[in-house]
């Protein structure tokens, strides 16, 4: 199965390739053999093996998503680098990529360089609720209160902020007020998140059982197909 999401934006057809892996599903040999010499040097400088493996898994997923998008074989000889704000990119390519990880898994997306995207993945744990609430504005707390501060809504809201910050390639280096959510709407298993200041972008998110996946896109993007595969994968790949 090709890991592709097809969307339309202003009558244009856009494809987004994605790759997801659980860290325990791939051996060290597979992960580290996918690194370029430059990437291997970076991995060797991490203080712990677990952090180096997480880095390698991220680069593996970036290259896998790149291969899906370009319909090519897995590019073992390409190199990823970090932009001035830490955003990853593939050297010699103008494609947009975004990556996210938890302590157990990594996800990467790849699409046209003219189309901004941002991805986030968060573990869905009710023990995170109080921490998330402490980071919300009064307006966002009122929005979440509509769902009685439902844990799922809180995680969706936070993942949406993370995804938006990655679309902008700044992370949270900008004031948090810029990422204030103005509305969240649930349609069946999919959530749509909108921002007060960032009206040009919005987020589509889903609870995939034990994780929240959030994809930031230009506002007006319409998913044609492919999202369902991304949403059910975690229900199939149980921890």
**Burial category of 196 from C-beta neighbours within 10 Å (exposed 0-12, middle 13-18, buried 19 and up):** middle
Is the pTM for the entire model greater than 0.85?
yes
Contact indicator for 201, 158 with CB cutoff of 8 Å: no
Predicted pLDDT at 197: 94
Contact indicator for 78, 66 with CB cutoff of 8 Å: yes
Classify strands 181-187 and 88-90 as parallel, antiparallel or unpaired: unpaired
Question: CA-CA distance, 33 to 23, in Å (whole number)?
Answer: 15
Predicted pLDDT at 103: 76
- Residue listed under structure tokens 């051996």: 27
Instruction: Please give the structure tokens belonging to residue 137.
Output: 């504005």
Instruction: Please give the structure tokens belonging to residue 237.
Output: 């790949």
Number of domains in the chain: 1
Contact indicator for 110, 65 with CB cutoff of 8 Å: yes
The HSE-up count of residue 65 (CA atoms within 13 Å, CB side) is: 32
Reading the chain (239 residues) residue by residue, the pLDDT tens digits are 468 999 999 999 999 999 998 888 888 898 888 888 888 999 999 999 989 999 999 999 999 999 899 887 666 668 888 888 888 888 888 999 999 998 788 999 999 999 999 999 998 888 888 899 999 998 888 887 765 558 888 899 999 999 999 999 988 889 999 999 999 988 888 899 999 999 999 999 988 778 899 999 999 999 888 887 777 655 444 44
Q: Which CA distances in Å does 118 have to 107, 113, 232, 237?
A: 11, 12, 20, 23
Question: CA-CA distance, 156 to 128, in Å (whole number)?
Answer: 12
DSSP code, position 21 = E
Predicted pLDDT at 10: 93
The helix/strand count (H/E) of the chain reads as: 7, 12
Output the CA torsion sign for 109, 239, 193, 167: negative
Domain containing 28 — which CATH number?
Answer: 3.90.470.20
**First vs last C-alpha separation in the chain:** 21
DSSP three-state, residue 140:
helix
Domain range holding 191? Answer: 4-236
Contact indicator for 63, 34 with CB cutoff of 8 Å: yes
Classify strands 4-9 and 181-187 as parallel, antiparallel or unpaired: unpaired
């Amino acid at each position: 199965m090709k890991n592709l999401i097809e969307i339309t934006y202003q009558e244009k057809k856009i494809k987004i390739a994605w790759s997801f892996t659980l860290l325990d599903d791939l051996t060290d040999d597979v992960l580290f053999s996918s690194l370029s010499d430059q990437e291997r040097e970076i991995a060797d400088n991490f203080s712990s093996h677990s952090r180096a493996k997480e880095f390698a898994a991220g680069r593996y997923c970036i290259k896998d998503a790149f291969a899906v998008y370009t319909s090519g074989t897995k590019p073992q000889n390409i190199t990823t680098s970090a932009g001035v704000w830490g955003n990853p990119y593939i050297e010699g390519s103008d494609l947009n990529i975004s990556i996210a990880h938890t302590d157990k898994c990594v996800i990467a997306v790849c699409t046209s360089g003219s189309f901004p995207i941002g991805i986030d993945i968060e573990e869905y744990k009710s023990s995170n609720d109080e921490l998330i609430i402490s980071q919300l504005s009064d307006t966002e707390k009122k929005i979440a209160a509509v769902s009685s501060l439902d844990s799922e809504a809180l995680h969706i809201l936070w993942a949406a902020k993370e995804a938006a910050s990655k679309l902008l390639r700044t992370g949270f280096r900008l004031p948090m007020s810029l990422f204030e959510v103005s509305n969240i709407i649930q349609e069946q298993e999919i959530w749509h998140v909108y921002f007060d200041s960032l009206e040009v972008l919005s987020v589509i998110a889903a609870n995939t059982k034990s994780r929240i996946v959030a994809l930031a896109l230009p506002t007006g993007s319409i998913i044609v197909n492919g999202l369902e595969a991304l949403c059910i994968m975690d229900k199939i790949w149980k921890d």
